Structure 1
Amino acid sequence: MGKNKLISFADGRFANRAPTFFKEAKLINLYDEINIYNFNKLSTSFSEKHGDFIRNNSKGFGYWIWKPQIVLQEIQRSHPDDTITYIDIGFSINSGGRDRAREYIDIVRESKWKMLSFSNTYREYLWTKYDLAARIGVENRMTYMGTTQLAAGCFSLKPTSSNIDLLNEWISISCEDNYRYLDETESKLPNHKQFIEHRHDASISSLLRKKRGTTVTHYEVQKYDNEFEKSKLSFPFYAHRLTK
């Protein structure tokens, strides 16, 4: 039986959140390892290549470009039977949701793709610029653009070769053409008429996971309807942007 591992990233304005997050993660009594990354824990090659971009773009500490990188780094120190869960450092962890968190891990192990993603209520075409959709080759496919976006704030996977390929492609597209698919560079192609704004790492990772395949469940981390209030005490993660 492999280890259950939880990872996150705390730097910039979220740097002081790390100790409290770690305590909350320990209290749920499920994870064999809890690893909180920061800029100094990024590989030297990655930090040297993207350091200026990160320093020049405070939003998401470089538009969350570090996210697939830390998962890859965790995979490098993991066994094939391990399960890795990523959640944003600003989330809170509810120890009463241990059973549901355990179910997430079981779903990953049984998943055809060895990955669990969470679907939020945001239609992809509202939150993804069409240059990115075209880059991935799904701009005219409503099974991708007309469905809800897969969240980047929480996901779980096993260290398979296909998941490693996905993470590498995520990084590659993020930094391609001077980061234009990741940052707020205006789309050259016309966006959907109801387009609101680009969601950066979420947009890239969502389309890649839809294209490559992932098991999906509802994003049980925030209030969308009254059902969340009825069941939230049994959910392990709550979406916040806590900084301490």
Structure 2
Amino acid sequence: MKLHLATFFSPDLSRSAKRFKDQATEMKIYDKINMYRFDDLDIEFKNYVKKLLKDGKKRGYGYWVWQTFVHKHVLSNLNEGDFYHWCDVGCHFNTNGKKRLEEYLNILQNEDTGFLGFDYEKLDNDEFKNFTYPRYLEYEYTKEDLFKFFKVQDKKDITNTPQVWGGSFFVKKCPTSMKILNNHFEITKNRFDLIDDDKDKFLEKPREGFIAHRHSQSVLSILAKLEKCNFLSAYESEWALDQNNQRTFEHLHDFPIIAKRDKKKNIFRRFYERQIKTFKRYKIFFFKY
């Protein structure tokens, strides 16, 4: 059994990518660390991302559509039974959590679906029981169009349960996990209307309590729930709220993946963006007066 890790980074995030790879290497558990860039996409996906960026879909370097290409490409090179860990480049690795990472792999080995994800359910930890763990429900972060597509509008075990986090998950290559990720790929690639968060283009009226659509994460979340996958708490990686209602990672001392999202851009890119912001401020000032 081999364990492959993969992430993707846009051209401006090479500093974060180096930090990611160095930390992952220090874990001394991955057989291969795959660092994907735009140039690693095939021509069809390159054109897809380029079009999205041109159309103003710049969040997630094209609404994170490249992520499903990475999953498909890595898994195509694995043997049946091999393990795959997807992890966002903004996550940090914590060597204090290596034991828990090994536990994830043991859980995955015995998971019939071959998919081990993390949903926004409360973390069961007595030491930090006074912390608050926001429970992001599916209907709050998934548009009705997608519920209708999957024919799950009346299935409360899907719509009214915490959403599955797309920033980190584990896969054992088997028929069920391949079904989940192949469907994830096909929808993301061919049905952008289902991952688009533009409310002006929604066909169905959002539910009361809807906040925002979470793109391909919403797709993955529903697919995993439909296959009855088991989930651990995303708060084994995500920030919680302490007694002062401040974000904290204090509860993650013994967990392996920390979703800090502190993506550091290249120096020249940061300088360029600062100059653009300064120019816009002066432009507003002079036009105002």
Q: If the length of structure 2 is used for normalisation, what is the TM-score? A: 0.78
Distance (Å, rounded) in 2 between the aligned partners of 1:50 and 1:127: 23
Q: Which residue of 1 aligns with 2:102?
A: 102
Return the match for 2:162 from 135, 145, 148: 148
Q: Which residue of 1 aligns with 2:197?
A: 184
Contact 2:83 2:171 in 1 (8 A): yes
Unaligned ranges ≥5, structure 1 = none
Higher mean C-alpha deviation, range 51-60 or range 155-164: 51-60
Contact 2:137 2:162 in 1 (8 A): yes
Q: Deviations over 1:184-222 (max 9, x none)?
A: 232211111111111112111101110123221111112
Q: Which residue of 1 aligns with 2:131?
A: none
1:28-177 equivalences in 2 (<5 Å): 28-56=27-55, 57-120=57-120, 121-177=135-191
Higher mean C-alpha deviation, range 103-112 or range 48-57: 48-57
**Which residue type is aligned with residue 38 of structure 1?**
R
Contact 1:125 1:146 in 2 (8 A): yes
After TM superposition, give the deviation of residue 61 of structure 1 in Å. 1.1
Unaligned ranges ≥5, structure 2 = 121-134, 265-289
Query: Which structure has greater strand proportion?
Result: 1
**Which residue type is aligned with residue 138 of structure 2?**
E
Alpha-carbon RMSD: 1.9
Larger Rg: 2
Higher mean C-alpha deviation, range 45-54 or range 161-170: 45-54
Distance (Å, rounded) in 2 between the aligned partners of 1:140 and 1:224: 31
Distance (Å, rounded) in 2 between the aligned partners of 1:40 and 1:34: 17
Return the match for 2:237 from 212, 218, 221: 221
Alpha-carbon spacing, 1:94–1:157, altered in 2? closer, same or farther (3 Å): same
Q: Deviations over 1:58-89 (max 9, x none)?
A: 10111111112101100111121311011110
Identity over aligned residues, as a percent?
Answer: 26
After TM superposition, give the deviation of residue 124 of structure 1 in Å. 0.5
Q: If the length of structure 1 is used for normalisation, what is the TM-score? A: 0.92
Distance (Å, rounded) in 2 between the aligned partners of 1:199 and 1:39: 22
Q: Which residue of 1 aligns with 2:217?
A: 202
- Tell me the matched-pair count: 242
Distance (Å, rounded) in 2 between the aligned partners of 1:211 and 1:16: 38
Distance (Å, rounded) in 1 between the aligned partners of 2:262 and 2:9: 11
Return the match for 2:226 from 192, 208, 211: 211
Higher mean C-alpha deviation, range 97-106 or range 73-82: 73-82
